[in-house]
Every structure is written in structure tokens, then in C-alpha cells.
Structure 1
Amino acid sequence: MATSATTTVNNIPSKMKAWVYSQYGKPEDVLKLETDIAVPDVKDDQVLIKVVAVAQNPIYPKRMSGLFKANDSPLPLAKHVFGASKVAATASSGKLELLKSLGADLAIDYKKENYEDLPEKFDLVYDTVVKLPKS
């Protein structure tokens, strides 16, 4: 007979700190530390993670300045933000068409091909999962 265990943590604070911005501009002008943000409610299929340290993604200042919005696709943004003339992206074979629909000029199945072994050469490799030591 299978049983499920539920762990309840009683020391979750009701408030948290967060760096936020509510208008576009230079990060040093618009980024503010808020210390009284409500901790989000956690649903049954979610987890709450306490973050101890973070790093700033180089895209964040571009978003804060209004160059693009949070729901813009990152692949066309590579052309706009980084000045790329051609964008290649990697995914598993089931996601290659999605990459093309998001604006990738070259969709690479990372399970079958290593981008370093391809005849195409890349000026910039932006690794969002820190798996490529040369990116």
C-alpha cells in the first residue's frame, strides 16, 4: 500500500525582500530594494525555495531600460540586443520546430550534434544552463 507524506514547515516568513522596478530606465535609477514583499502562496503542485544569493543576468538591464518586454522571445532578441545576424539554438529533437518558430535560424539537436563540431562558427554562445565551458 502506497502512502504519501506531507511535510509542513512552520517557519516560513510572511514577508520577503526583493529587488524590483516599476518603470523603465537605467538600473541604478529604477531598481529599488523592497523589504516588505508578501511571500507568494504555494499551491499543492509548487515548491517555495529560499534564495540566498543571486547574480544579475546581462539581459536584465536591457529589459529595465525598455529595449524589450518580459514576454519577448529571446531568440530574436539575440539579433536585436547582441547584434547577431544569424541565431543558432540547441534543444532536444522534439523542440527543434519550436526553436525555429521562436526565430532560430539554425536549430541544433544537442543530443546528436555538438555545436563546436559544426562547420558554422559562432561569435557568441549564450549558455543559460551553464553546461558549455566554452560559452
Structure 2
Amino acid sequence: MATALASESIAVASDVPPKMKAWVYDDYGPVSVLRADDGVLVPEVEDQQVLVKVVAAALNPVDFKRRQGMFKSADSALPTVPGYDVAGIVIKVGSQVKNFKEGDEVYGDINENAIETAYEGLERAGFSAGKSILVLGGAGGVGSLVIQIAKHVFGASRVAATSSTRKLELLKSLGVDLPIDYTKENFEDLPEKFDVVYDSVGQGDKALKAVKEGGRVVGIWGALSPPGFVFVLTSNGAMLTKLNPFIEEGKIKPLVDPKGPFPFSQVIEAFTYLESGRATGKVVIYPIP
């Protein structure tokens, strides 16, 4: 249990205060609906939960899409504290928790996670060693991880990815064999086709034109016709356990936007930057006091 864009001045479980600072919104809309609140209740820890003191958090496009009301039919009741990706310290554990203890440094996601999105999409597409992949939005938070996981975990034979001109060198540094400048080339018109196209930016119709016969298109936004599919992530701790050795060995590296990190007081500025479409990788909020 954690609240991504919230702050708790906590050292040990016995020192857990009843309230914390957080960024919240009471209605759906633009970035201006966000407000800082010093009186958000610290959640109670149930038997199979842990309470995490959040030290850093990351913003994803899903955060502002949710704030804009795109998922209101299935969303929890307002007011909402935004944010999913967190890193922090366990400061309280439920009576049935066996794998964590107070003081453990942890990372994860309170609902869904970019690295899990990357991995699960590849797994559901039947991706495997020796196959080729095209990643749309390769310099983004999800896309950059798809590239690395496809190459180092699944053993891709060839990785292509799209980005703007200024991010092509970044794609190469991530291991991309064929960087595609979407400002100059239409990836869907290239003669080369791919076993899997991973669409992290919502270009489903074009993505279908770039896949081989018998291949799959994975999408995380919008609608897709067969052989494409859109999936809703189900957060899974076992998946992170499987990927963690690759992270610790440095084979998979989170891509953090160089404009950050943004301090906790500048969450509105961080959202504004993310929504501009100029971000590279993760937009991080740090430190969270």
C-alpha cells in the first residue's frame, strides 16, 4: 500500500501520523484541478498489506488521462491522489505479510506499472527468441522498457523503434537496431515488416500495416482490429521478481527524463511537462518529503 504523490514524515511504524501531505483532485479536468492538501488520511494497513513511505514517484500518461476523466466509468470515487509508480521504504507490515519487513527498500506500483506493461504485452503477444519487433514510441517510459526487455529478456533478433530526430541516438543506446525518425519516415510504408508491433502511443491502424502475416500488434491505448489486441494490465508482483535480476545486473535500465527530477512542490509543472509530449522516459518526482 502506498500513495504515489503523497508525503509522510515517518521513521518507524510507531511514528505513523494520522495524516499526510498529498496532491489531489476533486474533479476531472486539466492540470489546474490539482491541489496540495496537508490533511489526507494515512491509509490503514490490512493483514496482507504494507505501508510504504514514498521517497520518489514517477508520472505516466495514464495519470493525466485518468485525471482528464478518460476512465471515469471504472474509476474510484473522487477525490483522487494521482500516481502509480513508487519507490520507498516499508514502515509498517500487516500481520499476514511474510516477504517484507519494516525498513525494506522497495519499488513497485500501487495499481499498474510501466515495466509490467512492457513485459506482459510481449508475453501475451507470444514474443520469443529470434523474433523481430517494432516499438512505436521507443523513447517513452513504456517503449524504452519494451526495447530492453525484448532484447535482453526475450532474445529479440531485431529491434526497430520510432522517435523524433533528437532521440534517435537514445534509441541506439538502448539497443535498437533500426531507429526510425517518425518526422521523416512513415514506418507503416517501410518494406520491412515485423513479428510484433508494440504500440505504446495509440497508432493502431498504422501499426497493423507494419506487422508480418501471422504476427501480432500489441496496443495499450485506443482500439485495435485483429491481429491486434489491446490489453488491460493486471499488476503482478511475481513478474517483478522475474525481472528484478535483469535490473540489478544493469541489463534493463529505467530511463529518467533529464529535465527532472521535479520536487514535490512542482507536481503541476511535472504534469504540464509530461502532457507537452516532450518527455523522454520517466518524469520523476523527487524528493518527496
- The TM-score with structure 2 as length reference comes to 0.28
Q: Deviations over 1:37-93 (max 9, x none)?
A: 234478xxxxx6255954752526xxxxxxxxxxx9653431343342110011100
Distance (Å, rounded) in 1 between the aligned partners of 2:168 and 2:196:
20
Amino acid at match of 1:125: V
Unaligned runs of 5+ in 2: 1-33, 58-80, 85-109, 121-143, 209-216, 218-289
Structure 1: which 4+ aligned runs deviate by more than 3 Å?
13-17, 39-42, 50-56, 80-83
- Return the letter of the residue paired with 1:99: L
Counterpart of 1:116 in structure 2: which amino acid? E
Higher helix share: 2
Mapping for residues 36-75 of structure 1, pairs under 5 Å: 36-40=51-55, 49-50=82-83, 54=112, 56-57=116-117, 59=119, 74-75=146-147
In the TM superposition, 1:1-40 aligns within 5 A as: 7-15=35-43, 34-40=49-55
Q: Which has the higher strand share?
A: 2
Residue of structure 2 equivalent to 1:123? 195
1:90-135 per-position Cα deviation (integer Å, ceiling 9, x unaligned)? 1100011111122111000122222211111111112233x12143
Q: Is the 8 A contact 1:90 1:109 kept in 2?
A: yes
How many residues align? The count is 99
Partner of 1:100: 172
1:84 aligned partner, one-letter code:
A
Greater relative contact order (CA < 8 Å, ≥ 6 in sequence): 2
5+ residue gaps, structure 1, are 1-5, 18-32, 43-47, 61-71
Question: Is 1:16–1:37's contact at 8 Å kept on the other side of the alignment?
Answer: no
- Tell me how far apart the structure 2 counterparts of residues 109 and 13 of structure 1 sit (CA, whole Å): 47
Q: Name the amino acid aligned to 1:98.
A: L
Q: Give the RMSD, CA atoms, in angstroms.
A: 3.7
Within 2, Cα distance between the matches of 1:78 and 1:97? 19
The change in CA–CA distance for 1:12 and 1:40 in structure 2 (over 3 A counts) is: farther
Moved more, 77-86 or 118-127: 77-86
Shift of 1:36: 1.9
